[in-house]
């Protein structure tokens, strides 16, 4: 069966520090991968998606970047965090069979 | 541009009550619609996935219907329990394979089931 792993679960980082969040998927190959952010009291915002290794599409220009170094690995990064980067970050993959989405458990990022 | 609306925004019911959550969308050109549950501070758990050609899906006490032509979906929860307390989100996937098939989410319905 397919599983998605996301870590860390929580992170507190100072303004100006770098960021690296990792997401890996097991049990499938060549998945579409997504990074979403959910700000407090707001809906989900799509940040990046990837349809293959090295292929990244950005939905919202901002202080973040994404990379896909391996088929089932998706990384969200920042060189210098801003206070506005605080939020709940969710990784997801999409099934090519039924077309449904599966989300990871999320990372709560607080920038102080 | 697809817009998804969920009504009500919040709902509080006594345990044992049957309830209906509503989701409406503006563009009927959808591939599928998915209902999720989100507990506080947690990720999204998929509840039901309805393909555009289907009218409903059932899982245990949950039943989701889809009326694509009218742009509506409902999530029916039978015999609600305190453990059902969570935020329920619906999301639609477009037919057109652009933007990685971006999901459009509603704002969610926050459900509280009181013992």
pLDDT digits (tens, 9 = 90+) for B64-114: 999 999 999 999 999 999 999 999 999 999 887 665 567 899 999 999 999
What is the rounded CA–CA span in Å between residue A94 and residue B42? 19
Query: Which of B32, B23, B39 minimizes the C-alpha distance to B76?
Result: B23
Measure CB to CB from residue A57 to each of B34, B89, B100 and give the nearest one: B100
| Mean pLDDT, residues B13-26 taken together | 97
What does the pLDDT average to over A50-72? 90
Q: Which residues of A touch B106 (CB under 8 A)?
A: 43
pLDDT number for residue B101: 64
Q: Give the DSSP H or E segment for A108.
A: strand A107-111
Between CA A91 and CA A48 the distance in angstroms is: 10
Q: How far is CA B19 from the centre of its chain?
A: 13
Q: Does A90 touch chain B (CB under 8 A)?
A: yes
Non-local CB neighbours of B38 within 8 Å, separated by 6+ positions: B44, B45, B86, B87, B88, B89, B108
Question: Which pLDDT belongs to residue A6?
Answer: 95
Instruction: Say whether B31 sits in a helix, a strand or coil.
Output: strand
List, for residues B34-60, the tens digit of each pLDDT value: 999 999 989 999 999 999 999 999 999
Residues in chain B within 8 Å Cβ distance of A51: 100
Q: How confident is the model at residue A33 (pLDDT cuts 50, 70, 90)?
A: very high
Per-residue pLDDT band for A106 (boundaries 50, 70, 90) equals very high
What percentage of chain A's residues is helix, strand, coil (to nearest 5)? 5, 60, 40
In chain B, which residues touch A (CB < 8 A)?
31-32, 34, 36, 41-46, 49, 51, 89, 91, 93, 99-103, 105-108
**Residue B115: predicted pLDDT:** 95
**Residue B106 Cα, gap to closest chain A Cα (Å):** 7
CA nearest B109: which of B50, B47, B31? Answer: B47
pLDDT bracket for residue A10 (50, 70, 90) = very high
């Amino acid at each position: 069966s397919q599983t998605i792993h996301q870590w860390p679960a929580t992170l507190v980082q100072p303004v100006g520090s770098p960021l690296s969040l990792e997401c890996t998927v097991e049990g499938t190959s060549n998945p579409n991968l997504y990074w979403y952010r959910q700000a407090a009291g707001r809906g989900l915002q799509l940040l990046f998606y990837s349809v293959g290794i090295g292929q990244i599409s950005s939905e919202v220009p901002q202080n973040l970047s994404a990379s896909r170094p391996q088929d089932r690995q998706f990384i969200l990064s920042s060189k210098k965090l801003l206070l506005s980067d605080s939020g709940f970050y969710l990784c997801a993959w999409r099934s090519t069979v039924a077309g449904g989405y599966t989300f990871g458990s999320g990372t709560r990022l607080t920038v102080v | 541009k697809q817009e998804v609306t969920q009504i009500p925004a919040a709902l509080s019911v006594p345990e044992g009550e049957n309830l209906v959550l509503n989701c409406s969308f503006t563009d009927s050109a959808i591939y599928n619609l998915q209902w999720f549950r989100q507990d506080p501070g947690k990720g999204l758990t998929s509840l039901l996935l309805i393909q555009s050609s289907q009218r409903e899906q059932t899982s245990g006490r949950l039943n989701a219907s889809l009326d694509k032509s009218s742009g509506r979906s409902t999530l029916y929860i039978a015999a609600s329990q305190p453990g059902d307390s969570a935020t329920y989100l619906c999301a639609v996937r477009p037919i057109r394979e652009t933007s990685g098939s971006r999901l459009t989410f509603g704002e969610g319905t926050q459900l509280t089931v009181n013992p």
